[in-house]
Copies of this chain bind each other. A is one copy, B any other.
Amino acid sequence: MWLGMGQADAIAILGGTGDQGLGLALRFAKAGRTVVIGSRKTERAVAAAEEVRAAVPGADVEGLGNEDATGRAEIVILSVPFEHTASTVKGIREVLGEGQILVSMAVPLATAIGDGAVRTLGIWQGSAAEMVQALAPKGVTVVSAFQNVSAHRLRELSNAVDCDVVVSGAKAARERVMALCGLIPGLRGVDGGPLSNARVVEDLTALLIGLNVRHKVPEGLGIRFSGLPDRD
């Protein structure tokens, strides 16, 4: 078990200044969890934390540099653009410790090389999440989640998000992340099995982006599995 310095129930979100990361920060803060926003530039993280406090009165949220934020929570969500994923993981390697859970939201959209968002790049390790696992220190468990949750829907705090989240990775860790999904109204964590299934989930984001464009849904579609037994 991780015995870090932060609150036991804190959630760190690296890249929490971006659209989707900030959306998660708002939702977790609203659910009463301690949130630590990380950014490459501390002042941007501080500003994002202020934004969360303005939207969610009484929010327990702090803004820090990525390294400091990583040391504060057992669960660390990586919400940086794909092209900064590898460098971000390399930058926090020294801070990451045994028992921490690193959540990859990365999607290798071809925008990283100047091509379109409706296509993905092939990743040597199989998926961005598996690349993150290859870069993470031993003892850190990588879980894949949240790729397909619309930032727009996350940030509309008065609405339920209406989306299933496929969570994949080692069993105990993915169950922790599935529980996080349950903190957000309209979000449901779905047991996605081993981390390698991130290959499908990441590609799905590119398909959803295309559907959003073709069907003119600026707020972004969600994905739902029908026929799933609810386990409340």
Contacts and interface: CB of A to CB of B under 8 A. Distances in A.
A1 interface: no
Interface string A195-222: 0110111011011101100111101111
The winner among A191, A214, A224 for most chain B CB atoms within 10 A is A224
A199 B199 CA distance: 11
Contacts of A150: 227
Interface string A131-170: 0000000000000000000100100000000110010000
A97 interface: no
Interface string A4-44: 00000000000000000000000000000000000000000
A118 interface: yes
A225 interface: yes
A10 to B, nearest CB: 29
Number of copies: 2
A119 B127 CA distance: 14
Main secondary structure of the interface of A (DSSP, over half): mixed
Contact of A217 (B153, B193, B228): B228
Contact of A203 (B199, B208, B222, B225): B199
B192 A226 contact: no
Given A192-B207, A197-B207, A162 B223 contact: no
A114 interface: no
A190 interface: yes
Contact of A228 (B200, B221, B225): B221
Nearest to A161: B226
Interface of A: 118-119, 150, 153, 162-163, 166, 190-193, 196-197, 199-201, 203-204, 206-208, 210-211, 214-217, 219-229
Given A192-B207, A222-B226, 18 more contacts: A118-B197, A166-B207, A166-B211, A191-B211, A193-B210, A197-B207, A197-B210, A200-B200, A208-B225, A211-B228, A217-B228, A221-B226, A221-B228, A222-B227, A223-B224, A223-B225, A224-B225, A224-B226
